[in-house]
């Protein structure tokens, strides 16, 4: 179990470093000004995705909960979106209108981390079946 948590951590940190660096490089080259901190968006997704995967690994050992893990994961996705909206409310919703680049810059980290998180959750669920 500790090996799996270590793998989750390494993969998510590596994903953070690579995707954030590429994204930041592109934003700087295009001279795009974002109304939010791109680093904070990536750090939010890094932390929450790592937390979700670690908790799912721990919950997969509880036999009574294991059968409901798929539904719990759906709930965590909704909770993640709500938390993201609450934390970044000012920079997302109070702006008159986000530019296309700003909207894409919010969407890219979400897709990158959500797809990796879903991959790990599927591996956890398949391992126990």
Q: Is the pLDDT of residue 15 over 90?
A: yes
Which pLDDT value is given to residue 127?
A: 80
Which pLDDT value is given to residue 48?
A: 95
Token digits of residue 97? 């209108």
pLDDT tens readout for residues 29-74: 999 888 888 999 999 999 999 999 999 999 888 888 888 888 999 9
The domain locations on the chain are 2-127
Would you place residue 20 in the very low, low, confident or very high pLDDT band (cuts 50, 70, 90)?
Answer: very high
Enter the pTM of the model: 0.89
Tell me how far apart the terminal alpha carbons of the chain are, to the nearest angstrom. Answer: 17
Which pLDDT value is given to residue 109?
A: 95
pLDDT tens readout for residues 95-120: 667 888 888 998 999 999 999 999 99
DSSP for 60-111, please give it. Answer: TT-HHHHTTHHHHHHHHHHHHHHHHHHHTHHHHHSSS---HHHHHHHHHHHH
């Amino acid at each position: 179990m500790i090996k799996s948590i270590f793998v989750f951590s390494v993969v998510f940190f590596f994903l953070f470093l690579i995707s954030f660096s590429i994204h930041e490089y592109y934003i700087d080259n295009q001279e795009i000004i974002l109304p939010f901190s791109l680093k904070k968006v990536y750090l939010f997704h890094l932390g929450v995705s790592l937390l979700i995967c670690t908790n799912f690994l721990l919950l997969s050992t509880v036999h009574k909960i294991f059968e409901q893990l798929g539904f719990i994961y759906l709930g965590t996705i909704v909770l993640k979106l709500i938390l993201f909206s609450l934390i970044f409310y000012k920079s997302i919703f109070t702006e008159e209108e986000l530019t296309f680049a700003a909207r894409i810059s919010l969407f890219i980290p979400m897709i990158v981390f959500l797809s990796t998180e879903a991959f790990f959750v599927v591996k956890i669920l398949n391992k126990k079946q």
